Amino acid sequence: MNTELLLWSSIAIIVLAGCYNVSLFLLSRRRFRRGRAPREPRLYVFLLACLNEEKVLAESLARITSLPAGNFLALVIDDASDDRTAEIARAADPERVRLLQRKLPNARKGKGAALNAGIRYLREAGLLDGRDPHDVIVCVVDADGRLDAHVVQAVDPYFDNPRTGGTQIGVRMYNRDQGLLARLQDMEFVIYGDIFQSARRYIGSVGMGGNGQFMRLAALESLMGEDGSGPWSDSLTEDLDLGVRLIARGWTNQHCTSAAVSQQAVLDVKRLVRQRSRWFQGHLQSANLVPLIVREVPVRPAVDLLYHLSSPVLILLTSLLPVSFLIAVGGTVAGSIEAGHPLITPMWLIGPYVLSFTAAYAYGWVYSRREQGLGLLRAIALSHVFVIYGYIWFVAGWYGLWRMVTGQRGWLKTART
């Protein structure tokens, strides 16, 4: 095949990503207007799927039970923990906190299976008796999740629209002051929420996350099988899967920018790569949603969802380019030494800087608006590091692909510290 065509095609990957990022950045800056409708009193049920969460669960439950909202309860789903998870749940406010203990061999089948068991328990225990499923909102919170105190008040108006199936809130890292890696993860989630998720409200393709995911019970029930299975799938990224299936069923997903859940950032690069490889592998598994999207989702969100679902392929392809660049730079430096004069022109540095780091200025500006104490200049400097941090996906991507090819589908749970 024509060599020049292939070389320019590789550059087209960057152009495509750049155009997409700029478009979503501009879209995210539009003011979002929410429709107003009569308020309905709703029951909020917080689901916490827990596997050995004794280090973080008590704090999360304390936050939930002190929410200034009237009508809510929390269900701790203990997925056969070896530690004091169940004990901590039992010690919490019994009026507000219920415990479902799963036992092996039925337990530890993944987060989706645990959440499904939670929904079944709510029904069987009669906790939802007499409730209209349209007025019951189920919220998935990680065991380390610390919800903003005003979260119910912030999310509730989105459900005034009867078409709203789910609302995702922002995600922050509560330990973001504990080093650069934690700070970069916080930045990553802020940028994802404030740019990409916010823009997708206009496209109709907002995704659901694994933490801070609020869903109308009626919407969840519309995803359940005739045998009562579901609504969550056994995918490693059951949240992504659920969001897409809600859209395919005609529900609208919303993103709430005025409330957030804070979780624990991973403080170790090796564990971070492991976590991201699981997400990557789950994303690859979600390729099975493509026929559903093509058949059921309207064109505009369908195109965006297809791009989103195919991003692992683009990441793997893109990962070849920095390797190529480093080899080329190394070779040219060696050639310069041999030739006795520099063969690298300033364009070798200026071009890649402009193409790679221009986004850092936009990211820095967005982050500085969330993190007022940081200041714009520091945020921009930090976002230069964030650009480099993005390379972690290349490593995680190849690791995730290797796990998929070798048939490893286990739940690589991220350990708490």
Site for other proteins in 223-282 (CB under 8 A): 240, 276, 279-280
Selected from 314, 361, 378, 398, the binder of other proteins by CB under 8 A is 314
Calpha distance 326→332 (Å, rounded): 10
Q: Is 355 in the site for other proteins (CB under 8 A)?
A: yes
> How is residue 81 written in tokens?
């923990």
The conformational region for residue 407 under phi > 0 = left, psi -120 to 50 = alpha, else beta, is: left
For other proteins, which is the closer residue by CB, 158 or 279?
Answer: 279
Question: Which of 94, 162, 228, 330 touches other proteins by CB under 8 A?
Answer: 330
Sequence-distant (≥ 6) Cβ neighbours of residue 411 within 8 angstroms: 108, 110, 111, 236, 278
Helix 3-28 to helix 299-339 angle (10° resolution) is 130
Alpha carbons within 13 angstroms on the beta-carbon side of residue 309 total: 24
User: Other C-beta atoms within 10 Å of 224: how many?
Assistant: 15
- Does position 23 bind other proteins by CB under 8 A? no
Shortest CA distance to 242 belongs to which of 251, 250, 232? 232
Q: Is the dihedral of CA 221, 223, 228, 231 positive or negative?
A: negative
From candidates 33, 105, 270, 299, binder to other proteins by CB under 8 A: 299
Q: Which residues contact 210 (CB under 8 A, 6 or more apart)?
A: 111, 140, 142, 237, 238, 239
User: Quick one: which segment of 135-143, 225-233, 310-318, 372-380 binds other proteins (CB under 8 A)?
Assistant: 310-318
Among residues 37, 62, 269, 323, the one that binds other proteins under rule CB under 8 A: 323
Counting contacts by CB under 8 A, is residue 20 touching other proteins?
Answer: yes
Among 71, 258, 310, 408, binds other proteins (CB under 8 A): 310
> Binding string, 116-145, against other proteins, x = CB under 8 A?
------------------------------
Sheet harboring 146-147: ordered strands across? 97-102, 72-79, 43-50, 136-140, 213-216, 164-173, 252-263, 146-147
Under the criterion CB under 8 A, does residue 287 sit at the interface with other proteins?
no
405 near other proteins, judged by CB under 8 A: no
Buried b (16+ CB within 10 A) or exposed e, 265-303: bbeeeeebbbbbbbbbbbbbbbeebeebbeeebeeebbe
Closest to other proteins by CB, 16 vs 62, is 16
Return the number of the residue (91 or 355) whose C-beta is nearest other proteins: 355
Contacts of 199 (CB under 8 A, 6+ apart): 23, 24, 25, 27, 28
CB of 21 to other proteins, least distance (A): 4
Using the rule CB under 8 A, is 66 a contact of other proteins?
no
Which one of 57-65, 81-89, 264-272, 349-357 is the stretch in contact with other proteins (CB under 8 A)?
A: 349-357
Q: Does 72 bind other proteins (CB under 8 A)?
A: no
Residue 170 DSSP label: E
Is there binding between residue 342 and other proteins (CB under 8 A)? no
Stretch that binds other proteins, among 45-53, 54-62, 138-146, 187-195 (CB under 8 A): 187-195
With contacts defined by CB under 8 A, how many residues of the chain interact with other proteins?
Answer: 82
Q: Which of residues 198-217 bind other proteins (CB under 8 A)?
A: 207, 209
By C-beta, is 121 or 365 nearer to other proteins? 365
410 binds other proteins (CB under 8 A): no
Stretch that binds other proteins, among 125-133, 302-310, 373-381, 405-413 (CB under 8 A): 302-310
Instruction: Pick the binder of other proteins from 363, 370, 379, 412 (CB under 8 A).
Output: 363
Q: Minimum Å distance from CB 225 to other proteins?
A: 24
| Number of other CB atoms surrounding residue 217 within 10 Å | 23
Site string for other proteins, 380-399 (x = CB under 8 A): ------xxx-xxxxx-----
Q: Which of 125, 328, 377, 415 binds other proteins (CB under 8 A)?
A: 328
Q: How many Cα atoms are found within 13 Å in the side-chain-facing hemisphere of 328?
A: 10
Find the binder of other proteins among 128, 292, 343, 381 (CB under 8 A).
Answer: 343
Contact criterion met (CB below 8 Å) for 233 and 241 = yes
> Which stretch, 50-58, 69-77, 192-200, 407-415, contacts other proteins (CB under 8 A)?
192-200
Contact assessment for residue 179 and residue 98, using Cβ atoms and an 8 Å cutoff:
no
Place of tokens 């309860």: 73
Closest CB to other proteins among 54 and 296? 296
| Interaction of residue 180 with other proteins, rule CB under 8 A | no
Helices 299-339, 269-285: crossing angle, 10 deg rounding: 130
For 398, other C-beta atoms within 10 Å of its C-beta total: 15
